[in-house]
Amino acid sequence: GEDVEQSLFLSVREGDSSVINCTYTDSSSTYLYWYKQEPGAGLQLLTYIFSNMDMKQDQRLTVLLNKKDKHLSLRIADTQTGDSAIYFCAESINFNKFYFGSGTKLNVKP
Amino acid sequence: GAVVSQHPSWVICKSGTSVKIECRSLDFQATTMFWYRQFPKQSLMLMATSNEGSKATYEQGVEKDKFLINHASLTLSTLTVTSAHPEDSSFYICSARVTGSVGEQFFGPGTRLTVL
């Protein structure tokens, strides 16, 4: 599969902004996604961005895509304790196979 | 939003038995469903792509005789782990793509399989 890489851990204080980074290798990706996984649960789609976009904002979430550097980031504004979870970035090629990163565990301290 | 369910949510079985896991799209039709496997603290690994009415496409290294997939209707795909062994213990997650959509997948809650 394709290589999608993320840092493993991020710790922030409640109210701060969180930035989770992801790099991918395949330049033919059509969509890039951010998913959230809470303990023992499946994946919840947070947001996605089409590969010809640079930025997408959805309430507290901002996705930035640098296609030249193959770098994707997810910014969570005003991070809450309920945001503590594992966040996966994923890329899809031709809308079929998804390749996931290893996940970033976000810990929000009260 | 689109809902995908899995049944059972967890199962414990003896080594050598077979286990069937169901994946259902509750409020939409899914021509294509995907089966993933997730080891503790690791990412999801795509096992196979399941297409309604045809044979599943397996990823390299996944034994198709070991992991039988049947996608008999537009709302149901099943994964059967045959002759399960302890190394098959894992979290199995399915996802479904809305027929005619441009790529969004909706994930089930996962099934925790423990083989003793």
pLDDT in tens, A95-106: 667 888 989 999
Eight-state DSSP code of residue A81: G
DSSP bridge pairs for A67: none
Please judge whether B43 and A101 are an interchain contact, meaning their C-beta atoms are less than 8 angstroms apart: yes
Q: Indicate which of B39, B41, B44, B102 best probes the interface with A, i.e. most A CBs within 10 Å of its own CB.
A: B44
CA B18, B23, B29, B30 dihedral sign is negative
DSSP 8-state secondary structure symbol assigned to residue A54: S
**Closest residue by Cα to residue B93 from A38, A5, A41, A45:** A41
A contacts of B108 (beta carbons < 8 Å):
42
* Any A CB within 8 A of B6 CB: yes
Mean pLDDT confidence for A59-86: 95
- The answer to whether A70 and A24 have CB atoms below 8 angstroms apart is yes
Cβ contact, residue pair B46, A98, below 8 Å: yes
β-strands A98-100, B76-81 pairing: unpaired
Nearest CA in chain A to B104: A95
Report chain A's mean pLDDT, rounded to a whole number: 89
In angstroms, the CA B43 to CA A6 distance is: 11
Tell me the percentage of chain A whose pLDDT exceeds 70. 95
- Span between the terminal Cα atoms of chain B, in Å: 37
- With 90 as the cut, is the pLDDT of residue A78 above it? yes
Look at the block and give the residue holding tokens 């939409």: B28
As a whole number of angstroms, the distance between CA A8 and CA A91 comes to: 18
pLDDT of residue B43: 81
- Those residues of chain B that have pLDDT short of 70 are 1, 99-103
